Structure 1
Amino acid sequence: MPSFFTNDYQTLIGHLVEARKKSGITQMQLAQAMRIEQTLVSRIERCERRIDAVEFLHICALLGVSTDEIYGHLKPRFAVLQPATK
C-alpha cells in the first residue's frame, strides 16, 4: 500500500525507525511499552498510520532520542517565516 504522507513525514518516521533499530529495541518491545499492538508499530513504520504529537514524544522518550535530535534532521527542510516589519 503506497503512502499518502509527505516526504517530510516519511523522513521523520525513517529517523525514528533508525533510532529504534540503533537502540536494539524491537517493534514488539516498543509496542508493549506504548501499550499498543505490534501491528500498529509496523503500520507506523510503513507510513500507513500517522502518529500524533503525544505518540511522537512517547516514542522519542522510549527510544532515548531527543525530539531536538529528530527535529534537527528535518529543520533544513522547513521554510522559516520572517516576522512582519512595521
Structure 2
Amino acid sequence: MRAAVGTSLLVITAYSLASLATRSGAAVSLDRAVIGPFVATAVLGAWDGKRLAVKVPGPRLQRVFAVVLLAVAAFMLADGVT
C-alpha cells in the first residue's frame, strides 16, 4: 500500500510538472500568486503524508486511500456531468 501511495504521488508530480512546462511555453501568463501557495501546500502535504504513513497501520492506510480515491472520482464525475 505504501508503494501504491508513493507511486501515485510520483505520477501526479510528473503529470503536474509536464502540464506546467507545457503551459509555460504558451502565450497565457501563469498566475504565480496561485501556483506558489499550491506548490508549497503540495510539498508540505506530501511531507506530512509520508510522516503519517509510517505511523498508520497498512489496512487503515489502504481504507483511507480508497476513500480519498473514491471522493476524487466522484468529484471528477460530478464536474464532468455539469
Normalised to the residue count of structure 2, the TM-score between the two structures is 0.28
Greater relative contact order structure (CA < 8 Å, 6+ sep): 2
More helix by share: 2
Normalised to the residue count of structure 1, the TM-score between the two structures is 0.27
- Larger Rg: 1 or 2? 2
